[in-house]
């Protein structure tokens, strides 16, 4: 594994932030405004919220992927490799199959069921692997 020194990390981080700022700024002008000309201030305010939220979600997903790969000690690990996505999909399907009324009665949403299925899939894989 390649070890980076502090200077390389700072340069890479600065370049990444500049690239993100350029992409985020270009995203503010893209979209359907329904009017001719430049977007209004209100449209910019709405779009900046969307751009920042999308950036935050992307950063969270990237961090989750890094944690996932670090825990499994596998740089190629992804949610499809160990059946986590399949477990979540199965649980979401079972939530639909059981009916919305039954799931609401016990207080779990479809997302909570899917998350539970993903956690259960991880537990099953780790128990089968003897970890």
Residues 6+ apart with CB under 8 A from 85: 79, 118
d(CA 99, CA 118): 20
What are the CA-CA distances from residue 129 to residues 16, 41, 120, 124 (Å)? 38, 56, 14, 9
Q: Which residue has the tokens 């790969």?
A: 69
Q: How confident is the model at residue 101 (pLDDT cuts 50, 70, 90)?
A: low
- How many C-beta atoms surround the C-beta of residue 88 within 10 A? 21
Statement: the pTM of the whole predicted model exceeds 0.75:
no
> Two tokens at 18?
């500049």
Residue pLDDT, tens place only, 41-94:
777 777 888 888 999 999 998 998 888 888 888 888 887 877 889 999 998 888
CB 121 within 8 A of CB 82: yes
């Amino acid at each position: 594994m390649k070890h980076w020194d502090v200077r390389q990390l700072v340069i890479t981080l600065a370049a990444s932030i500049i690239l993100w700022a350029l992409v985020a700024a270009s995203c503010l002008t893209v979209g359907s405004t329904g009017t001719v000309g430049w977007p209004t201030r209100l449209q910019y305010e709405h779009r900046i919220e969307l751009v920042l939220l999308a950036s935050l979600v992307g950063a969270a997903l990237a961090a989750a992927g890094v944690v996932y790969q670090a825990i499994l000690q596998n740089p190629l690990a992804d949610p499809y490799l160990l059946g986590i996505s399949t477990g979540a999909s199965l649980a979401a399907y079972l939530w639909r199959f059981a009916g919305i009324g039954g799931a609401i009665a016990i207080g779990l949403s479809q997302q909570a069921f899917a998350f539970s299925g993903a956690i259960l899939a991880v537990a099953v894989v780790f128990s089968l692997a003897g970890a």
